[in-house]
Chain A
Amino acid sequence: MKKFLYIIFILIISNNIFAQDNISFTAQANRTVAVGQQFRLTYNINSKGSNFRAPTFTNFDVLMGPSQSTSSSMQIINGNVTQSFSYSFTYILAAKKEGKFTIKPASITVNGKKYTSNPITITVVKGNATVQNNNYGGNQGNTSGVSNKNIFIRLYLNKNTAYEGEQIIATVKIYTRVGIAGFDDINFPSYDGFFSQEIPTPNNISFTRENINGTIYNVGVLQKMILYPQRSGKLTIKPFNITAVVQKRVRRHSTGFFDDFFSSGYQNIKKILHSNTVSINIKPLPNKPTEFNGAVGHFNLSANINKTSTKADEPIVLKVKISGNGNLKLIDDPKFDFPPDFDVYDPKINNNIKNDESGAHGTISYEYLIIPRNGGDFKINPYKFIYFDTNKKKYITLSTKEFNIHVDKADGSSSKTIVNNISKENVKYLNKDIRYIKTSKIKLKPVNNYFFGSITFYLIYIIAIIIFITIYLLKRKSIKQNANIVAVKNKKANKVAKKRLKIANKYLREQNKEQFYQEITNAIWGYLSDKLNIQIADLTKEKAKENLLIKNIDKEKINELINLLDKCEFARFSSATTEHDLDQVYNQASKLISDIENKI
């Protein structure tokens, strides 16, 4: 009996189980997903099955799955026990591309009977692949759950137009009417075309209440930046995204007793917030002066020097301070016109710049270390600092003082540096002393009194020329006179010879033989002497011969003459002569003389 009861009990139960013939096998998934976005595909079956076959997911990546889960529940209502089983197969998929895709049914076998699920059509839209919409713990996680009216972000600029380099404050604000649990993914704008600097904001966002179009929002500042436009024209700050985790109050369908107790009733939802597009008109700076170094704002300039008189090789410090409000960070270092002989080191730059609501302000100080290397009086020309005043809308020139520096020569130690410059060939002279002064034989002479160019100098030339000319003239005159004597002699020669011959003729008649020959000889010699202009004492037969030859007398005539002379000399001292001979000699002599006379 007891056994029977058991069987009945089992039968009842089993009947109960088997009575559940209405087996449902369904597929569930988000109907609209973005490309790359993870989503869940769940197959639910309310009975235990086997041989689950999933379709092929051609257009989706299977990131995980299938993961099985089982749940069973038993309900006893008024003694009526209902039990339900639930098996689920879950896939996590990601869509590969945009489009409308149908996932084919899956199949499962329950008690030998094959069941198929419903096909599911999923629309894949273009989306931000990086944004992953993970719905924590809730299967109803839906981004559309929080409307854009309830939470949004805005970027504000404090100016509509600005000059190049003028500072602009950009503020990113979040407006919300819902609670924010935190931020997941903050992509602040890139501020293309600007040089940007952040103004520090507290880490905890403090919200203030603001009324916008009749709606009250909690407003928090996410970021504050100082922007310096780097180029003119219309600059656009592209929209940016912030993913906020929003707390949303949810109404759960379950009425479980413990539910309210454990759950706060809020659900964290990720919400991607898109900002507005902001553009600003940047005006170019009016024609820039050449010395303009990019400073825009309002500035003061001061400079001082620690000493104006120093020694060579001793450093001087020149301090320049630029203070004010503007793009201090973008200002070029002041360029001083230091004397080229100075060693100048790169300035030490001290920044004391604060960024806050009013923009960047503070001071930059530059410390120049300069070392004069040689003595002298030097001038550091004023440094001109030109900035564009955004209030006055014009360039303003500030200028430092002019510094005059007196540098004394270095004592001794600097000569070492000079030594390095000396070439090798000069090294041998190093450390040698100069030679002693000259003490003896000093001849002083009046300044600017030079022999060259003096009157004496030229006078000597003139006197020399005069002497030369006088000597020349005198000598020429005497030569001329001599020449005259010769001519006279020449002319007279014939006459003299004839006179002599006449005397000879007289002796001939007297038959004075000795005297006759003597006279003939004298006549011939005298004639030759006069004609040839040779002293009788110097005259020899050879000389006479030579000179006559020069005067183009025939050789025969010359020989005849010489023979005649020989003959006369011989006859003078011999007695063997006749009267006839005397006649002949006389005729011959007079004939020869007249012949020669004709020739010369």
Chain B
Amino acid sequence: MKQLYITILIFLSLIFSVNANNNYSLLDSAKTYYKNKKYEKAITTYKKIIKSGYESAEVYYNTGNCYYKLDSIPYAILYYEKAKLLKPNDEDINYNLKIANLKTIDKLDVLPKFFLTKWIDNFIDLFSSDSWAYISIISFIIFLSLILLFFFTRKMTIKRTSFFTSLIFIIITILSFNFAKKQNNKITAHNYAIITTPTLTAKNSPDDSGNDAFIIHEGTKVKLQDKVGEWSEIKLSDGSIGWVKNKTFAVI
């Protein structure tokens, strides 16, 4: 019985490793396609990798680049945003995203945020979800060690310092846990989308005969708020809210 498990495990890992190997060769071929300006082929190759159940910020970034080269700005933005979720503080991703965003038609005013929330948001974006998770764990271990030190030292000075530093580390643990959670939510919630329809009229209600709320164009990033049948409620960065059909956008 045990042997059976082991063989299954070995078999599975073999499949995965084969798959992974296969993917790395795909990466290489996609690289060559991109180099030779065969962007469409590069895209299908990258998509193959993603379809096989693997992802990375770089793959998304490269796919975004291919779309940009094909002048398909909304999809370029879509993939840059996907990459950004995995690596929020990557310079290349942010740079290319900015360039792609310049090519969109809508230049929306962003609702002013309180400066503190803006700082916090920027600070959270310094690391990805997993990095924050690691920070949380490491600081938690440090916290525990300091607590042990506090309990068992005889020197008063060490006792005192270890107590206060442990307090700092428990705070770091809690904060970074929350940041990790927040970053993870961003990735898993899928509540942002990029408009892919060239011109889109948002309605005031989930109904074709509803009044027009506003017009947006491809490439605009919107927040998904609600869903009714084939309609979704979107919120723009300037705060406007309207309903559009699901097929008009691609979820990040």
Contact = CB atoms under 8 A, between A and B. Distances in A.
A444 interface: yes
A376 interface: yes
Interface in A433-486: 433-439, 441-448, 450-453, 457, 460-461, 464-465, 467-468, 471-472, 475, 479
B249 interface: no
B148 A444 contact: no
Interface string B63-78: 0010011000000000
Nearest to A372: B199
Contact of B53 (A436, A438, A446): A446
B238 to A, nearest CB: 14
A333 interface: no
A407 B132 CA distance: 47
B89 interface: no
Report the interface size class on chain B: 35 or more
A378 B140 contact: no
B151 A437 contact: no
B199 A341 contact: yes
Contacts of A375: 198-199
Interface in B45-88: 49-50, 53-56, 58-59, 61-62, 65, 68-69
B199 A374 contact: yes
Contacts of B133: 450-452, 457
A448 B188 contact: yes
A464 B181 CA distance: 20
A301 B134 CA distance: 72
B200 A434 contact: no
B105 A418 contact: yes
Contacts of A465: 144
A461 B140 contact: yes
Contacts of B58: 437-438, 441-442
A317 B173 CA distance: 66
Among B129, B133, B200, which residue has the most Cβ atoms of chain A within 10 A? B133
B199 A378 contact: yes
A506 to B, nearest CB: 41
Interface size class of A (residues with CB under 8 A): 35 or more
B184 interface: yes
Interface stretch (B5-13, B96-104, B113-121, B226-234): B96-104
Nearest to B145: A468
Contact of A435 (B95, B184, B188, B215): B95
Nearest to A447: B55
Contacts of B152: 475, 479
B184 A450 contact: yes
A450 B187 contact: yes
A453 B184 contact: yes
A574 interface: no
B251 interface: no
A434 B56 contact: no
Contact of A430 (B65, B69, B102, B198): B102
Given A422-B102, A432-B99, A340 B201 contact: yes
A208 interface: no
A203 interface: no
A319 interface: no
A443 B181 contact: no
A457 B137 contact: yes
A339 interface: yes
A445 B56 contact: yes
Contacts of A418: 103, 105
A448 B54 CA distance: 9
A339 B215 CA distance: 9
A473 to B, nearest CB: 11
B212 A438 contact: no
A340 B56 contact: no
A51 interface: no
B164 interface: no
Contact of B199 (A339, A438, A451, A475): A339
Nearest to A475: B152
Interface in A76-134: none
Nearest to B98: A429
A471 to B, nearest CB: 6
A375 to B, nearest CB: 4
A341 B212 CA distance: 12
Contacts of A340: 201, 212, 215
Contacts of A443: 56
Nearest to A419: B102
Interface string B137-169: 100110010011001100000000000000000
Contact of B137 (A432, A433, A453, A461): A461
Contacts of B181: 452-453
A409 B103 CA distance: 13
Contact of B55 (A433, A444, A457): A444
B73 to A, nearest CB: 10
Contacts of A407: 198-199
Contacts of B223: none
A306 to B, nearest CB: 21
**Which of A442, A465, A471 has most chain B Cβ within 10 Å?**
A442
A447 B96 contact: no
Given A452-B129, A452-B132, A374 B27 contact: no
B151 A472 contact: yes
B129 A450 contact: yes
B34 A468 contact: no
Contacts of A426: 98, 102
Contact of B68 (A434, A447, A475): A434
Contacts of A447: 50, 53-55
A215 interface: no
B199 A437 contact: no
Given A339-B199, A422-B102, A447-B53, A435 B180 contact: no
Contacts of B95: 434-435
B59 A464 contact: no
A421 interface: yes
19 contacts: A375-B199, A376-B199, A409-B198, A423-B107, A434-B99, A434-B100, A435-B65, A435-B92, A435-B96, A441-B58, A442-B59, A450-B187, A451-B134, A457-B133, A460-B137, A464-B144, A467-B144, A468-B147, A472-B151
Q: Which 10 A-B pairs have the closest CB atoms?
A: A376-B199, A375-B198, A376-B198, A452-B133, A451-B130, A444-B54, A437-B62, A438-B58, A468-B144, A434-B96
Given A375-B198, A446-B54, 19 more contacts: A339-B201, A339-B215, A340-B212, A341-B215, A374-B198, A376-B199, A376-B200, A435-B92, A444-B23, A445-B54, A448-B188, A450-B129, A450-B187, A452-B184, A453-B181, A457-B137, A464-B140, A465-B144, A471-B148
